[in-house]
Amino acid sequence: MVEAIDAPLPPTSTTPQVQDISLHGDDPPPRYIVRELPDLSPPSTTIPIIDLSRLLSGDEDGGREELGELKAALTSWGCFQLIGHGIPGELLDEVQVSAKQFFRLPSEEKQMCFRPEDDVEGYGNDPILSDKQILDWSDRLLLKLVPEDTRKLHLWPTNPTQFREVVSGYSDELKRIVEALMKAMARCVGLEEDCFLKQYGGKEMMMSRFNHYPVCPRPDVVLGVKAHSDGSGVTVLLQDDKVEGLQILKEGRWYGVPIIPHALVVNVGDQMQIMSNEEFKSPIHRAVVNSERKRISLAAPSIPHDGNEIEPVEGLGSEERPRLFRKVKYSGSIHLHHYPSGTRMIDDARI
């Protein structure tokens, strides 16, 4: 993780896109060299696999068994591979292809999507908040998906032409899945199924972060995304269908997460760790890069509406396990402040 930052500086647009640095095949500039060198081939692990269609089969044996598996996954790894989610494989393939086509365009053609100086949405590299910050070897396109009427469509790619339709279709599917998962997460620890969703106040937000990791001649000294936990309630990640790179930290060791075709990687975020009084873990994870093949991923964090207050739900604290967090007001800018410095908003919320 990077060192704590000093007072934040305004983002600057003068740093080149990683894609452009990568085109020349030069070694990464010093700003990208991490202090803690990544292990490029850690043990691969089968993180738990959860079947959503079984989870939704109610009180039948399969449903109950799957709820037990879900609880085990959330309390141990804080993440799992989701299968049986009902999203057609062709749609997932189209999302991958559309993202790859967009990233492949030369910088001039992505101009209309460039992140404005005063915004977090749009296309750009790791936002720079401090001179000391070590930069991620990735470019990203950040777009709000939900609420639909707050989408900044002027930053959404028009090339490739199918991008908007495909991503909107995927967003509708994600909304359905996230709602079903939030309810199942409550049920698996014996709570009212709406208890987590209620804290979203009916005004949830879902972002999309398209990550592009260009090839790097020195993957051993950079990170695509530095070690972090997500600031979300839950995040649904569509991994590249061919190139691995996601790693998860468990009990002090990094594990590589293998690709399961058309499965989605779901992880608990800090908000859910707070709401569940730390029953569920928000895992530390990172992405490594590759000297031969570029990689993409699409993370969709689902978060309470800016300004919503969240706290551990009633029924999870006990004498042995007192309430661990105070009530906190969530704001997207809190997470953005913490991410570059490698610190966690969740630690500020601890009692």
Ligand X SMILES: O=C(O)CCC(=O)C(=O)O
For 80-119, the three-class secondary structure string (H helix, E strand, C coil) is EEEECCCCCHHHHHHHHHHHHHHHHCCHHHHHHHECCCCC
Return the one option of ligand X, Fe ion, none that residue 211 interacts with (CB less than 5 to 8 A, by type). Answer: ligand X
- Report the DSSP beta bridge partners of residue 124: 140
Residue 313 phi, psi (nearest 5): -75, 150
Locus of tokens 């809190």? 334
The Cα angle at residue 266 between residues 263 and 268, in degrees rounded to 5? 170
Q: Tell me which stretch binds Fe ion (CB under 5 A): 59-67, 161-169, 224-232, 250-258.
A: 224-232
Cβ closer to ligand X: 225 or 345? 225
Nearer to Fe ion, 124 or 269 (CB): 269
Neighbours of 315 (CB within 10 A): 13
**199 or 235: whose CB is closer to ligand X?**
235
Q: Residue 297, interface with ligand X (CB under 6 A)?
A: yes
Q: Name the segment binding ligand X (CB under 6 A); options: 177-185, 189-197, 239-247, 306-314.
A: 239-247
Taking CB within 5 to 8 Å according to partner kind, which of Fe ion, ligand X, none is near residue 209?
ligand X
Select from 22-30, 141-149, 238-246, 341-349 the region that touches ligand X (CB under 6 A). Answer: 238-246
133 binds ligand X (CB under 6 A): no
For residue 235, give the H/E element and its range. strand 234-239
Query: Which region among 32-40, 150-158, 237-245, 302-310 touches ligand X (by CB under 6 A)?
Result: 237-245
Strands 225-228 and 139-146: unpaired
- Binding test (CB under 6 A) with ligand X, winner from 51, 66, 136, 230: 230
Cβ of residue 237: shortest distance to ligand X, in angstroms? 6
Choose among 104, 79, 332, 78: nearest CA to 207: 332
If one asks whether residue 287 binds ligand X (CB under 6 A), the answer comes out as yes
Applying CB under 6 A, does 246 fall inside the site for ligand X? yes
Q: Does 211 bind ligand X (CB under 6 A)?
A: yes
Pairwise CA distance, residues 84 & 104, whole Å: 31
Number of residues that bind ligand X (CB under 6 A): 12
Min CB(230)–Fe ion separation in Å: 4
Cis peptide leading into residue 147 (ω within 30°): yes
Asked whether position 239 contacts ligand X by CB under 6 A, the answer is yes
DSSP string across 305-317: PTT-EE-PPTTS-
Residue of 230, 240, 244, 278 interacting with Fe ion (CB under 5 A):
230
313 binds ligand X (CB under 6 A): no
Amino acid making up residue 291: S
Helix (H) or strand (E) holding 236: strand 234-239
* Pairing outcome for strands 328-329 and 285-287: unpaired
Return residues touching ligand X (CB under 6 A): 209, 211, 225, 230, 237, 239, 245-246, 285, 287, 297, 299
Return residues touching Fe ion (CB under 5 A): 230
